[in-house]
Amino acid sequence: MSDQLHIANVRNVLIRLEETIIFALIERAQFLCNAPVYTPGFFGDALGGESLCGFMLRECEQSHAKVRRYTSPDEHPFFSDLPEPILPLLGFSQNPLIPNAININTDIRSLYQETLLPLICRAGDDHQYGSAAVCDVACLQVLSKRIHYGKFVAESKYRSPTPALEQALARQDADLIMAAITDDAVEQLVLQRVTQKAGTYTTELNRNALSPTVAPAIITGIYRDWIIPMNKAVQVQYLLLRCSR
Amino acid sequence: MSDQLHIANVRNVLIRLEETIIFALIERAQFLCNAPVYTPGFFGDALGGESLCGFMLRECEQSHAKVRRYTSPDEHPFFSDLPEPILPLLGFSQNPLIPNAININTDIRSLYQETLLPLICRAGDDHQYGSAAVCDVACLQVLSKRIHYGKFVAESKYRSPTPALEQALARQDADLIMAAITDDAVEQLVLQRVTQKAGTYTTELNRNALSPTVAPAIITGIYRDWIIPMNKAVQVQYLLLRCSR
């Protein structure tokens, strides 16, 4: 089984995903907002009613589905009309999660297009539509992975519950579960580490001063205001399902 | 027209591509070499005789071809059996290059699989085949872009030739052209900047010491031994064509 699916590796996977997220956001930030990329129908009927971003995301998911990406419990598609895998399925016999259909990618896509893009990209249109959409796909996929990894975090907490979590689970109370899984000190450590990394990774771009890149505080804010809260929302959904079984 | 196609922006494009190349190599380096990904037929007949890496590269190019990626003069496909664009073609009326069919992606793919992968990844197999192949596609595409950008570099030099280049072009002599376009001082500056950036971008990964990442000296070596020479080979091919018109 992949190391990424071991409960013992949850923390390491989350830390390593920080690099991937920051890289992806920096790459997208080199292009302007490019509103036409997110406007369904802007390019006529050729994209089947989708925006360019949606079209390229679906095309990517269709090819990745063929090589069984979405059979892995840490992967979640944005689209449901995907082809069957053409490779033999892996066992995932040690999948640590309980069966579940939790998938908040619709929310993630809206958040990304409506809220995050204007934060990370300068306003305007540079006509780099294809390049921007390729970056969007990378951003959306890694944000989805990081946020849905809450399932693994939740399973880990379920297996070694604090007394507060045990009580909350016994009452199947979402608010109590949310309070029990929240650890402000740990969240502060994550935010400090992300700030540090984002600072490091934007240093060189700013040194060469070719064009402004995304500010470290923006990346930290995205973690604080959306990635961490949405990850915790997934945890609560998963734990409610877990304790009802 | 895209800024990326303006001759005046050649240097800035090359500098910004350094980030994309370094990020892509670092992302691939988190997985092991995973030889099965590059073995045609390893996954049976489902991939049409291709390796998993080749299959995913072709799938990606097929979807990007639909949104006209390879109609842009700075993009070069690895595969030739690609669908027609479904979006209306852009004019590229200010395409600064002369018509040409220079494409050394076959060499780039061999180089990547046989030489670069063992340099950037630790030996072994972690079964992260899909994730590795996704990273491979990103690496191959940005290496191809950087190397073929030699066409724009060459066009820029053709428009403002040094006396040595004028002589070399008049004689249509590949060796003389190679000598005339070679500027050791500029190459040293590129290598210094890449070393600096690679050091910065691997700092955080090493700080958290989750797993070893690619060493900055490896990335510099890839630039010195392959990216710069292959870029120059493209320049020479383009200039030979340019001066024969």
Give me the torsion for CA of B33, B35, B39, B44, rounded to 10°: -110
What CATH number is associated with residue B33?
1.10.590.10
The secondary element (H helix, E strand) that includes residue A231 is helix A228-244
Give the end-to-end CA distance of chain B in Å, rounded to a whole number: 25
pLDDT at B202: 87
Pick from A95, A84, A117: which is nearest to A4 by CA? A95
What is the rounded CA–CA span in Å between residue A204 and residue A51? 33
Nearest residue of B to residue A89 by CA position? B43
pLDDT at A203: 81
Chain centroid to CA A135: how far?
A: 14
ipTM value = 0.90
pLDDT, tens digit, for every residue of A66-108?
999 999 999 999 999 999 998 877 666 678 999 999 999 999 9
CA distance, residue B62 to nearest chain A CA (Å): 9
Q: What is the span of the domain harbouring residue B135?
A: 2-244
- A180 near B184, Cβ under 8 Å? no
What is the rounded CA–CA span in Å between residue A238 and residue A194? 26
Please state the pTM of the whole predicted model: 0.93
Nearest residue of A to residue B13 by CA position? A210
Q: What's chain B's average pLDDT?
A: 92
pLDDT, tens digit, for every residue of A8-19?
789 989 998 999
The residues near A10 (Cβ < 8 Å, ≥ 6 apart) are A149, A152, A153, A156
pLDDT at B87: 80
Q: At residue A63, does pLDDT exceed 70?
A: yes
What is the rounded CA–CA span in Å between residue B76 and residue B108? 11
Q: What six digits make up the tokens of B112?
A: 């990547």
Put simply, the chain A residues between 123 and 162 with a CB less than 8 A from any chain B CB are 126-130, 133-134, 138
CB contact (8 A) between residue B128 and residue A2: yes
A10 touches chain B (CB under 8 A): no
Cβ contacts of A66 on chain B, cutoff 8 Å = 59
Q: What Cα–Cα distance (Å) separates residue A95 from each residue in A161, A201, A230?
A: 20, 34, 22
Cβ contacts of A16 on chain B, cutoff 8 Å = 30, 210-211
DSSP H helices, A30-162, are: 52-66, 105-111, 117-120, 129-148, 150-159
**Count: domains in chain A:** 1
Amino acid occupying residue B169:
L
* Least confident interval from A150-159, A164-173, A214-223, B38-47: B38-47
Q: What Cα–Cα distance (Å) separates residue A153 from each residue in A160, A233, A241, B33, B229?
A: 11, 11, 14, 28, 47
pLDDT at A92: 62
Which of A42, A59, A141, A196 to mutate to test binding with chain B, by most B CBs within 10 Å of its CB? Answer: A59
